[in-house]
Homo-oligomer: A and B are copies of this chain.
Amino acid sequence: MTAHGYSIGQLARQASCKVETVHYYEKTGLMPEPPRTEGGHRIYSLVDIKRLNFIRRCRQIGFTIEQVKELLKFIDEPDHYCGEVKAMAMQQIDVVESKIRDLEHLRDALFEMIARCKGGNYTIDDCPIIDALYMSE
Protein backbone atom coordinates (compact mmCIF):
# COMPACT_ATOMS: atom_id res chain seq x y z
CA MET A 1 0.00 0.00 0.00
CA THR A 2 1.12 3.59 -0.60
CA ALA A 3 3.08 5.84 1.74
CA HIS A 4 -0.12 7.32 3.17
CA GLY A 5 -2.16 4.25 3.94
CA TYR A 6 -2.13 0.85 5.57
CA SER A 7 -3.83 -2.29 4.41
CA ILE A 8 -6.02 -4.20 6.86
CA GLY A 9 -3.29 -6.80 7.16
CA GLN A 10 -0.69 -4.19 8.12
CA LEU A 11 -3.13 -2.65 10.57
CA ALA A 12 -3.84 -6.00 12.18
CA ARG A 13 -0.13 -6.77 12.52
CA GLN A 14 0.47 -3.40 14.18
CA ALA A 15 -2.08 -4.28 16.83
CA SER A 16 -1.21 -7.97 17.03
CA CYS A 17 -4.64 -9.14 16.07
CA LYS A 18 -6.30 -10.94 13.21
CA VAL A 19 -7.76 -9.37 10.10
CA GLU A 20 -11.06 -10.99 10.96
CA THR A 21 -11.03 -9.25 14.29
CA VAL A 22 -10.81 -5.89 12.54
CA HIS A 23 -13.74 -6.88 10.35
CA TYR A 24 -15.61 -7.79 13.48
CA TYR A 25 -14.81 -4.49 15.13
CA GLU A 26 -16.03 -2.67 12.05
CA LYS A 27 -19.26 -4.66 12.03
CA THR A 28 -19.86 -3.90 15.69
CA GLY A 29 -19.05 -0.22 15.28
CA LEU A 30 -15.78 -0.01 17.20
CA MET A 31 -13.71 0.66 14.11
CA PRO A 32 -14.83 3.06 11.36
CA GLU A 33 -15.65 2.14 7.79
CA PRO A 34 -12.49 3.39 6.13
CA PRO A 35 -12.04 4.62 2.56
CA ARG A 36 -11.36 1.96 -0.04
CA THR A 37 -9.18 1.44 -3.07
CA GLU A 38 -10.80 1.24 -6.51
CA GLY A 39 -10.92 -2.49 -6.05
CA GLY A 40 -12.58 -2.29 -2.65
CA HIS A 41 -9.66 -2.88 -0.29
CA ARG A 42 -9.78 -0.93 2.97
CA ILE A 43 -7.26 1.87 3.50
CA TYR A 44 -6.33 2.77 7.07
CA SER A 45 -4.40 5.66 8.59
CA LEU A 46 -2.22 6.15 11.66
CA VAL A 47 -5.25 7.28 13.63
CA ASP A 48 -6.87 3.93 12.93
CA ILE A 49 -3.80 2.08 14.21
CA LYS A 50 -3.96 4.06 17.42
CA ARG A 51 -7.66 3.38 17.72
CA LEU A 52 -7.25 -0.34 17.20
CA ASN A 53 -4.44 -0.47 19.77
CA PHE A 54 -6.65 1.41 22.20
CA ILE A 55 -9.41 -1.13 21.67
CA ARG A 56 -7.04 -4.08 22.08
CA ARG A 57 -5.56 -2.65 25.26
CA CYS A 58 -8.98 -2.00 26.73
CA ARG A 59 -10.01 -5.57 25.90
CA GLN A 60 -6.87 -7.00 27.48
CA ILE A 61 -7.60 -4.90 30.54
CA GLY A 62 -10.91 -6.66 30.79
CA PHE A 63 -13.36 -4.09 29.48
CA THR A 64 -16.23 -5.57 27.49
CA ILE A 65 -16.93 -4.43 23.94
CA GLU A 66 -19.80 -2.32 25.26
CA GLN A 67 -17.51 -0.65 27.77
CA VAL A 68 -14.94 0.03 25.09
CA LYS A 69 -17.70 1.69 23.10
CA GLU A 70 -18.33 3.95 26.08
CA LEU A 71 -14.66 4.80 26.32
CA LEU A 72 -14.45 5.48 22.60
CA LYS A 73 -17.29 7.95 22.94
CA PHE A 74 -15.00 9.95 25.20
CA ILE A 75 -12.53 10.10 22.35
CA ASP A 76 -15.04 10.63 19.56
CA GLU A 77 -17.21 13.22 21.25
CA PRO A 78 -15.40 16.28 22.57
CA ASP A 79 -17.85 17.32 25.28
CA HIS A 80 -17.15 14.75 27.94
CA TYR A 81 -15.25 15.13 31.15
CA CYS A 82 -12.34 13.25 32.48
CA GLY A 83 -14.26 12.47 35.64
CA GLU A 84 -16.48 10.07 33.73
CA VAL A 85 -13.47 8.15 32.53
CA LYS A 86 -12.04 8.07 36.03
CA ALA A 87 -15.32 6.67 37.34
CA MET A 88 -15.27 3.88 34.77
CA ALA A 89 -11.68 3.06 35.63
CA MET A 90 -12.53 2.87 39.33
CA GLN A 91 -15.49 0.64 38.66
CA GLN A 92 -13.25 -1.59 36.59
CA ILE A 93 -10.79 -1.83 39.49
CA ASP A 94 -13.58 -3.19 41.67
CA VAL A 95 -14.40 -5.82 39.08
CA VAL A 96 -10.76 -6.78 38.70
CA GLU A 97 -10.14 -6.97 42.43
CA SER A 98 -13.15 -9.17 42.95
CA LYS A 99 -11.91 -11.49 40.19
CA ILE A 100 -8.51 -11.62 41.88
CA ARG A 101 -10.10 -12.57 45.19
CA ASP A 102 -12.10 -15.36 43.56
CA LEU A 103 -9.03 -16.76 41.90
CA GLU A 104 -7.02 -16.59 45.11
CA HIS A 105 -9.66 -18.61 46.91
CA LEU A 106 -9.62 -21.11 44.14
CA ARG A 107 -5.84 -21.35 44.19
CA ASP A 108 -5.86 -21.89 47.93
CA ALA A 109 -8.44 -24.63 47.58
CA LEU A 110 -6.34 -26.36 44.95
CA PHE A 111 -3.22 -26.04 47.09
CA GLU A 112 -4.94 -27.56 50.03
CA MET A 113 -6.19 -30.46 47.98
CA ILE A 114 -2.74 -31.10 46.64
CA ALA A 115 -1.19 -30.88 50.05
CA ARG A 116 -3.53 -33.56 51.34
CA CYS A 117 -2.91 -35.76 48.31
CA LYS A 118 0.09 -38.02 48.47
CA GLY A 119 -0.41 -38.86 44.81
CA GLY A 120 0.11 -41.96 42.75
CA ASN A 121 0.28 -44.56 45.42
CA TYR A 122 -3.37 -45.21 45.87
CA THR A 123 -6.47 -45.35 43.72
CA ILE A 124 -9.24 -42.92 43.08
CA ASP A 125 -11.40 -44.23 45.86
CA ASP A 126 -9.09 -42.61 48.35
CA CYS A 127 -8.00 -39.53 46.43
CA PRO A 128 -8.52 -36.47 48.60
CA ILE A 129 -8.88 -34.17 45.60
CA ILE A 130 -11.76 -36.08 44.09
CA ASP A 131 -13.12 -36.47 47.56
CA ALA A 132 -13.07 -32.76 48.25
CA LEU A 133 -14.90 -32.02 45.04
CA TYR A 134 -17.25 -34.95 45.00
CA MET A 135 -18.41 -35.11 48.58
CA SER A 136 -20.67 -32.23 49.39
CA GLU A 137 -20.87 -30.77 52.82
Binding site for B on A (CB under 8 A): 49-51, 53-54, 57-58, 60-62, 71, 74-75, 78-83, 85-87, 89-90, 92-93, 96-97, 99-100, 103-104, 106-107, 109-111, 113-114, 117-127, 129-130, 133-136
Contacts and interface: CB of A to CB of B under 8 A. Distances in A.
A99 B110 contact: no
A77 to B, nearest CB: 8
A92 to B, nearest CB: 6
Contacts of A123: 78-82
Given A75-B124, A90-B114, A96-B103, 10 more contacts: A50-B135, A54-B134, A58-B133, A82-B120, A82-B129, A85-B129, A86-B114, A86-B127, A92-B110, A93-B110
